[in-house]
Amino acid sequence: MQANIGRDSAMDPLNILMLFGAGAVAGFINVNAGGGSSLSLPALYFLGLDWATANGTNRIALILQNIFAVGGFQKNRVFELKSSLFLAIFTLPGAVVGALMATRISNLLFQRILGVVLIFVVLSLFLTRSYSRIRSQAGRRSRLVYPALFFIGFYGGFIQLGVGFLFMAALYHLLRENLVKVNMHKVFIILIYTIAALSVFAVTGHVNWTYGLILASGNALGGWWGAHAAVKGGERFIRIVLALGIILIALKLFEVL
């Protein structure tokens, strides 16, 4: 597999269509179930990017997605800039270190790590509690939230995949805010540290902007599509299909298939 793709290859119509489609499906999944990067990140690799560049390029779509998410909360007057920014600051050092590490490890090692993470993502799709069904627990904020944010920031900077699940758990149980505020803080924090992580990947030459913008366009369409889709039992179906797809990708990464 070649390390990077040239400008002519990046503009191949079939590649554009495949990447836009992967972005659309990932955006739809992120809105309805979470874990869309489990599809978009391997898609970038299978189209010819090395893992570090795929990892960096994927951040462009994530930034666009969270800009719209933050805007949505602000439009509905659920926005606490100072509090969200204060929390986001604790993720920045970890995100920068994680992104630097992601650019320096070998393709094979990252591939194996990603394969293991994908298996855990599949388990989390069915074993994690549904936060939409949990009542808010008011209480005093735990100081453990700050080191937790650092380590989650490191993980997000390194691989990103499934980080939303980690933030929801940490912020809900340690921040002790209601779920609307937890989600509001989550999307803002991810936006801020993803900008920092993308900067690291860009400076080290691990971003393909053409592919990133195509993926981001598909991601935006998929997010809009997912937000307007109201199919009875759709989330469970999406989780099952996503799990099967992730398992196949993991087997491919471990060279079983």
**What's the token pair of residue 39?**
């599809």
Count of structural domains within the chain: 1
Output 175 or 95, whichever has higher pLDDT: 95
Distances in Å between the Cα of 32 and the Cα atoms of 17, 28, 167 are: 23, 6, 17
User: Global pTM?
Assistant: 0.82
- Confidence at 230, pLDDT banded by 50, 70, 90: very low
Please report whether residue 1 resides in a domain: no
Please report whether residue 13 resides in a domain: yes
Please report whether residue 228 resides in a domain: yes
Largest CA distance in the chain: 56
Please report whether residue 106 resides in a domain: yes
Please report whether residue 152 resides in a domain: yes
52 has pLDDT over 60: yes
pLDDT, mean of residues 3-30: 74
Please report whether residue 240 resides in a domain: yes
pLDDT tens digits for 157-168? Answer: 999 888 887 888
Q: How far apart are CA 166 and CA 148, in angstroms?
A: 9
What mean pLDDT value characterizes the chain?
Answer: 82
Output 202 or 255, whichever has higher pLDDT: 202
34: left (phi over 0), alpha (psi -120 to 50) or beta: left
Please report whether residue 2 resides in a domain: no
Please report whether residue 239 resides in a domain: yes
The domain of 94 spans 7-253
